[in-house]
Amino acid sequence: MDLITIEGLRLRCVIGCKPEERRDRSDVVIDLTVAADATAAGNSDDLADAWDYRAAAKAVIADVESSQCFTVEALAVRVARIVVCGQGAPWARVRVRKPGALRFADSAGLVIERTPADFAKAEQTP
């Protein structure tokens, strides 16, 4: 399995439960690891054969910056859905960190892994 990484997307969004967190946008840092078969692009050296990480990053940026999640869990799932369902990745690991969320810590966050099957299950659940 080949892995594409996008590290350190520094974005701002509404995230959190406290009134001050809902009023002002906060910093979040997102790291993505995406499974992709790089064989064709590696052999042809043609962008048309590669997974389009630029389009994926743009989609994530647009969605996150307009989001208003209460939890980093919900934000991570949104990002995974974009990458897996919207951009066709067969598997993604999403790490979302909220700098300054805890005193004495650089950040607090979450890492999730998702496949298309995870979102198909969610759609079937009433």
Give me the DSSP letters along 38-98. Answer: -HHHHHH--GGGS--HHHHHHHHHHHHHH-EESSHHHHHHHHHHIIIIIT--S-EEEEEEE
Report the C-alpha gap between 113 and 115 in whole angstroms: 7
Active-site residue list: 98
Residue 124 CA to residue 11 CA, distance in Å, equals: 32
Q: Give the number of other Cβ atoms within 10 Å of residue 79's Cβ.
A: 27
